[in-house]
Amino acid sequence: MAPFIHFDQVTKSFGSLRVVDNLDLRVEKGEFLSLLGPSGSGKTTLLMMLAGFENPSQGSIRLDGTPIENMPSHRRNMGVVFQNYALFPHMTVAENVAFPLLMRGVGKAETVRQVTRALDMVRLGHLKERRPAQLSGGQQQRVALTRALVFEPTVVLMDEPLGALDKQLREHMQLELRDLHRKLGLTVIFVTHDQSEALTMSDRIALFNAGRIEQLDTPEGIYDRPRTRFVAEFIGETN
Ligand code: ADP
């Protein structure tokens, strides 16, 4: 059976800089996969190509067997939570969450119904008339997450979504994310440079080094049986 997402010998260069180097990666449906590795190792670039914000220089990316290069972004049906992909400041929480539904042509009444349900699910219903500036960092992140999930995407791409949060909130959000992943049967690709976050959250981890995958394995495999010195040293470091 074809993998759900397949990066088939994908290379991405910016000028003479080869950021993703002839990479082959298969992601299963419903999997929580973390891309872990040092800053600059190509993790974000991989997500950008999957989301359609960048094109591969070589190779192809397939979603459910179909090359995505020519697929318009709404057909990719991916929810995106990037650190720099902030909420719309002039809109209320409810308007922010409604945005992707209205963009997809969902009617007003149905949008209100879905926004209410989604915000209630993450216990943000009481904040729906607020604007982002009136929320805490953690609440803003939960709204961003809700906005990425409200249209029931099959794939959710997250780039350091918990990076700006303090430790306690971060741990709480990690649990919440795992829970949502399970409940909604989502395929999640989650970028982090934090080893312990990747180890606790993932079904599998792809450990990146300079545009290549050094090891692709379960958290136990990465932790107990590092295949290279780089993996052992990266996992052994403390943040
Ligand atoms: P990571 O997410 O692992 O930190 P990135 O994918 O963001 O790594 O970046 C990998 C490398 O590609 C970095 O050296 C970065 O400066 C470079 N890079 C990323 N995007 C661009 C771009 N649009 N133009 C030029 N260089 C880029």
Q: Which residue's alpha carbon is at the smallest distance from atom 16 of ligand 1?
A: 40
The ipTM estimated for the assembled molecules is: 0.97
- The region, left, alpha or beta by phi > 0 then psi within -120 to 50, assigned to residue 196 is alpha
CA of 130 to the centre of ligand 1 (A): 35
User: What number does the ligand 1 atom closest to the CA of 191 have?
Assistant: 2
User: What number does the ligand 1 atom closest to the CA of 44 have?
Assistant: 2
Confidence check: pLDDT of 48 > 80: yes
Give the mean pLDDT of 28-36. Answer: 97
> Which ranges in the chain belong to alpha helices (H)?
43-51, 73-76, 93-103, 108-121, 137-149, 167-184, 195-201, 219-224, 229-236
Share of the chain above pLDDT 90, in %: 69
The pLDDT value recorded for residue 239 is 52
Asked if residue 150 lies in contact with residue 112, where contact means CB atoms within 8 angstroms, the answer is no
CA of 110 to the centre of ligand 1 (A): 40
Give the mean pLDDT of 146-158. Answer: 91
Taking the C-alpha atoms of residue 37 and residue 172, their distance in angstroms, rounded to an integer, is 23
Q: Which residue's alpha carbon is at the smallest distance from atom 15 of ligand 1?
A: 40
Taking the C-alpha atoms of residue 148 and residue 143, their distance in angstroms, rounded to an integer, is 9
Taking the C-alpha atoms of residue 216 and residue 231, their distance in angstroms, rounded to an integer, is 10
* Angle (deg, nearest 10), helices 108-121 and 93-103: 130
Amino acid 111 reads: T
∠ CA 159-181-89 to the nearest 5 degrees? Answer: 50
pTM for the structure as a whole: 0.90
Strands in 17-27's sheet, in edge-to-edge order, are 17-27, 5-14, 58-63, 66-67
Taking the C-alpha atoms of residue 173 and residue 122, their distance in angstroms, rounded to an integer, is 11
CA of 19 to the centre of ligand 1 (A): 7
User: What number does the ligand 1 atom closest to the CA of 47 have?
Assistant: 6
Q: Which residue's alpha carbon is at the smallest distance from atom 9 of ligand 1?
A: 40
The pLDDT value recorded for residue 88 is 92
Q: What is the mean pLDDT of the chain?
A: 91
Share of the chain above pLDDT 70, in %: 97
The pLDDT value recorded for residue 85 is 62
For residue 141, what pLDDT band results from cuts at 50, 70 and 90? confident
Cβ neighbourhood burial of 224 (10 Å; 0-12, 13-18, 19+): exposed
Least-confidence region, from 166-180, 189-203, 216-230: 166-180
Confidence check: pLDDT of 23 > 90: yes
Pocket of ligand 1, beta carbon within 6 A: 14, 19, 37, 39-45
Q: Which residue's alpha carbon is at the smallest distance from atom 24 of ligand 1?
A: 14
CA of 14 to the centre of ligand 1 (A): 8
CA of 94 to the centre of ligand 1 (A): 33
For residue 238, what pLDDT band results from cuts at 50, 70 and 90? low
